[in-house]
Amino acid sequence: MIDKWLNKLERKYGRFAVPDLMLYVTLTMGLVFVFDLFVSRNPNNTFTLNSMLEFDRDLILKGQVWRAITFLVIPHTSSILFAALELYFFWMLGTGLERQWGTFRFNVYFFLGAIGCIIAGFITGEASNTFHYMSIFLAFAIVYPNFEILLFFFIPVKMKWLGLADGVVLAILLIIGNWSTRVLILVSMINLVLFFGRDLWDKIFYTCRRYYYKWFKK
């Protein structure tokens, strides 16, 4: 169903897709990081670019409309090393998905997640790009389950296990989190559900059925 819908959209609007989208996103995040890194060296300075880019529903409704989008390019760390690793990792995820799906489909996936984050932000009053980039990570883990990365620089781990761990974390947050956390997760993951929901459901269902017959129907 989603493939037919995407094929129709691509025929009509494929020319508007942005090639190397994740490259532009990570470069922008890098510029934000570098700017705040320099201004933070002044002990008398209280201004940060991050504070001007954060999602704030009240300020958006007062006219600072850029905040509805710019929170998507806020880095998650103040460490130079971890920022470099994060940006490279995000770029790798996005480039890998674009290579597998094509430019248009990756654009759709990215912007669906972004729109989900924005909607969740207006519902709850706050938004973060964390779950948005987690949805990209999970998509990569599904598309490239056997791709290995070096955890802590020396432990080879396949993406499917990291994706499973992230899925468990999300499930726990849905159970123990407050209502705003649940909304942020569910709405921000709309892209993951639309692209993989049916396949994941079928896989879970048939896996559970197989183990049921294996353990209880002997």
Q: Does pLDDT of 60 surpass 90?
A: yes
Q: Does pLDDT of 147 surpass 60?
A: yes
Is residue 13 situated within a structural domain? no
Look up the pTM and report it: 0.86
Among 13-22, 40-49, 119-128, 185-194, the minimum mean pLDDT is found in: 40-49
The number of folded domains in the chain is 1
**Residues with Cβ within 8 Å of residue 43, at least 6 apart in sequence:** none
Full domain range(s) for residue 56: 18-216
Is residue 117 situated within a structural domain? yes
Question: For residues 180 and 106, is the Cβ–Cβ distance under 8 A?
Answer: no
- The amino acid that residue 192 corresponds to is L
Q: Distance (Å, rounded) from C-alpha 108 to C-alpha 86?
A: 22
Q: Distance (Å, rounded) from C-alpha 35 to C-alpha 32?
A: 5
Is residue 48 situated within a structural domain? yes
User: pLDDT tens-digit profile of 162-214?
Assistant: 999 999 999 999 999 888 889 999 998 999 988 887 766 666 655 656 655 66
Helix axes 21-39, 103-124, angle to 10 degrees: 50
Going 99 to 101 to 106 to 109, the CA torsion angle's sign is negative
- The amino acid that residue 185 corresponds to is I
Query: Of 152, 172, 110, which is closest to residue 135 (Cα–Cα)?
Result: 110
Q: What is the CATH number of the domain that holds 124?
A: 1.20.1540
Is residue 42 situated within a structural domain? yes
pLDDT at 38: 85
**Residues with Cβ within 8 Å of residue 45, at least 6 apart in sequence:** 39
Is residue 10 situated within a structural domain? no
What are 177's two structure tokens? 């989190």
What are the helix (H) ranges across the chain? 2-13, 21-39, 49-53, 57-61, 67-70, 80-101, 103-124, 130-143, 159-176, 179-188, 190-216
Is residue 105 situated within a structural domain? yes
Is residue 68 situated within a structural domain? yes
